[in-house]
Amino acid sequence: MRLLLVCLALSACSNDSANGDDAPSPDASDQTPITPKIGAWGYDEVTPVSSTCPGNIQQGGTGTFAIDSSSSTSFHVVPNDGTAPFSCSLTGSAFDCPERATATQDLRPALDAVVTVRAIAKGTFSSSTQATGRQEATATCTGTQCSATGATFPCMAKVDFVIRAR
């Protein structure tokens, strides 16, 4: 059975595994405030870092979104994928988007299984129009037939990404 989960702006899940599992951490000593540009943004250059999710659980890795408000302490994102808007905090140039997205795929009645993916994102702005970061997504399943999806739950995927104002 092939599961295709909703593409989330700033979210990706891949069956590709890599050995380098160290997140690009925002430099805590760089407190130079950067305020992201308001407007359209693109999410791309996704590099899989690690995954415990099988290849039949997939998400798209590129997309667009908008930042509709921005200050020196936070910014607000409007995804272009049907998920709810969310806010991210800013400390200097570092951003943190805690549990920024959730996607659910209800496989009932064919299978008694509901797969939910939750994602967080962290990173650093290099300018008001570009940032790099890491997305971490966790997939869980409820129901009596989760094993029929081919995955062992929960599973996690980590990807590094680049976002740019358009």
pLDDT higher than threshold 90 for residue 15: no
End-to-end, the C-alpha distance of the chain in Å comes to 37
User: Where does the pLDDT of residue 103 fall: very low under 50, low under 70, confident under 90, or very high at 90 and above?
Assistant: confident
pLDDT higher than threshold 70 for residue 88: yes
Max Cα-Cα span within the chain: 53
Listed residue (37, 20, 44, 56) closest to 139, CA to CA: 56
Q: Return the half-sphere exposure (C-beta side, CA atoms, 13 A cut-off) of residue 148.
A: 12
Please, which residues bridge with residue 159 across strands? 48, 135
Across the chain, what does the average pLDDT equal? Answer: 81
Give the start-to-end residue ranges of the domains of the chain: 3-165
pLDDT higher than threshold 90 for residue 22: no
User: Where does the pLDDT of residue 32 fall: very low under 50, low under 70, confident under 90, or very high at 90 and above?
Assistant: confident
